[in-house]
Chains A and B, each alone.
Chain A
Amino acid sequence: MKTIKMINISRRNAIALMLGTAGYIMSSGIAFAGKEQVLKRIDEITKGKGTKELDIFLDLPEIAENGNQVKVNFEIESEMTKENYIKNVYILADGNPAPDVAKFSFTPDMGMCSATTRIRLSKTQNVVLVAENNKNEYFMTKSKVKVTIGGCGG
């Protein structure tokens, strides 16, 4: 049988130990993108112009049991003619290690602006969609997803 050594820990030592452990966890944990970084990224995409209102349908589950495979579907109302069409759509997430998720580039040949894919979400977070049309106007919408088991690994 193994003998278990008891270590006497004073209250002061215990507090120091706790703080040290917390600090270690925080420094070794994965750095998440966070809201500021997503806002910064939106600013970069829109070149500081800000976003306008538009009918954007962003379909995400309210609760995602598995963060490894979260289905994203969006549909944006647009004529999709050479004069007026949605050029780019960016998907961003504020709780993943990196804010960028995907960038879609559309052409008027497609007839409508919609797409579906599957993404990873590491924790409960907001998924942001930024759309850009050919007149360099920007539109934004977001949706919150509750994640039970996170993806991304780590």
Chain B
Amino acid sequence: MSKVKPRGKVPKKATIDEVIEIKTLIRHPMHSGRMKDKDGKNIPRQIINSFKVDFEGKEIFKMKLEPSISTNPYIAFPYKAKKTGTFNFEWKDDSGNTYTMKRKMTVS
């Protein structure tokens, strides 16, 4: 399996009450369990099944992913900037692996 690598884009600076857009992407094959490999064998299901974002320990956004989500899941969502802090992103896959990423944002 190729290496799973999360990536994210959060504005470094924002003004109070500004609605910013957060973009995330994680490199993951998202095997739906229906694909076949070269030898005609079924590739077992292996997907990212949940995504969660915390801001300073408070949950702000959550998503449940199903096999119908594309390879390398891309997720973008808005957030209303209130204060300076750190975003904590967390992805979980079927085999129980957790991938995390942190991003800081300064609000003035």
Contacts and interface: CB of A to CB of B under 8 A. Distances in A.
Interface of A: 30, 68-70, 80, 93, 96-98, 100-107, 109-112, 114-121, 151-154
Contacts of B74: 116-118
Interface residues of B, number: 30
Contact of A98 (B19, B67, B70, B75): B67
Contacts of B78: 110-112, 114-115
Interface in B19-78: 19, 32, 34-36, 55, 58-71, 73-78
A110 B34 contact: no
Contacts of A100: 66, 68
Q: Which 9 A-B pairs have the closest CB atoms?
A: A111-B80, A153-B35, A105-B62, A116-B76, A103-B64, A118-B70, A101-B68, A111-B19, A115-B77
A119 B59 contact: no
Contacts of A106: 61
Given A117-B74, A118-B73, A120-B68, 9 more contacts: A101-B68, A107-B59, A107-B61, A109-B82, A110-B77, A111-B79, A111-B80, A152-B68, A154-B36
A120 B55 CA distance: 30
Interface of B: 17, 19, 32, 34-36, 55, 58-71, 73-80, 82
Contact of B55 (A69, A96, A109, A151): A109
A48 B73 CA distance: 32
A109 B36 contact: no
Contacts of A68: 70-71
B32 A104 contact: no
B78 to A, nearest CB: 5
Query: Taking each of A101, A104, A114, A117, which has the highest tally of chain B beta carbons within 10 Å of its own beta carbon?
Result: A117
23 contacts: A30-B34, A93-B68, A101-B68, A102-B65, A102-B69, A104-B61, A104-B62, A106-B61, A110-B61, A110-B78, A111-B78, A112-B78, A114-B77, A114-B78, A115-B76, A116-B74, A116-B77, A117-B63, A117-B70, A117-B74, A120-B32, A120-B69, A153-B34
